[in-house]
Amino acid sequence: MKILKKAQAGTLESGDVLVTVKPSDTLMIEIESPVARQFGDAMERSARDVLESMGIYEGAVHLADQGALDCTLRARLHTAIHRALQDYDADVAGSL
């Protein structure tokens, strides 16, 4: 499957991660995190794992991490991709 539009999930609160996915011809994963030195590799592995499980092989993924646990990271990325694939209108959702 292909990411056709930009979508986000998560927050910038401590212990959370703000995930942004965008269309791209290649697969790109960018990680910003205060614990990048300790968990950067683990975070990238988890992100690739989630993407593969959802059949995503193209797209730009940006993780603005604030020390999220692995389960949080996986859930936020899952939701962000879900939103990017669905006919999901963030503006409408935000005004509800």
| Nearest-approach distance from CB 93 to another protein, in angstroms | 28
CA distance 93 to 77: 18
Q: Which is nearer to another protein, 36 or 60 (CB)?
A: 36
CA distance 52 to 55: 5
| Nearest-approach distance from CB 34 to another protein, in angstroms | 6
Which residue has tokens 């996986």?
A: 74
| Nearest-approach distance from CB 69 to another protein, in angstroms | 6
Q: Which is nearer to another protein, 4 or 35 (CB)?
A: 35
Q: Which is nearer to another protein, 71 or 92 (CB)?
A: 71
| Nearest-approach distance from CB 72 to another protein, in angstroms | 9
CA angle 6, 12, 14 (to 5 degrees): 150
CA distance 64 to 5: 19
Written as six digits, the tokens of 28 are 């790109």
List of residues contacting another protein (CB under 8 A): 14-15, 34-35, 37-39, 41-42, 66-70
